Structure 1
Amino acid sequence: MKTNFIIMGCLFFSPLALAGQDTLHYADFINEMYKESDMIKAKALELESELLRAKQTDLYFMPKVSAESKYKSDASRGDITDS
């Protein structure tokens, strides 16, 4: 009977003892998964290229504004107007 308790105790506590030896924290596990996963790297690069493409589109459709202006005199009104 005593040996049965010893065997059951060893069977019950040994997996718990082994589980605590080499555990990774969740953040470490996720970081390691990101480093090792080619599919995640490919998706990250795809998202980055979409962002760059969106920025290029925004720049392409920006209005072209000139900072120069010419002043001319309107002889009929006698004042200076901006053209």
Structure 2
Amino acid sequence: MTFRIVSAAVAAGIAVSAASMAMWPNTERMYEYTYYSDASKTTQVGFSFDQCINGHVVPGQAHGTATQYYTRHVIGQCPGYLY
């Protein structure tokens, strides 16, 4: 019984997510960037977050130092919602 309730809830969530994506067909992903001092990526020297402004992804201001060595993680979509 519990499995059926959980399955129904998951299916409803997927349907709602699909419907919300249909409302904004041209979504762009937003990222959080972590900058490192060198290719070993052991010493963090800065970070930044993309922003959603008027439906467009805009790079945020870097805090610390922005370098060519970075990792990025999806934090949301624009227009849309944060993960």
Same fold at TM > 0.5: no
TM-score using structure 2 length: 0.30
- Between structure 1 and structure 2, the one with the greater Rg is 1
More strand by share: 2
TM-score using structure 1 length: 0.30
More helix by share: 1
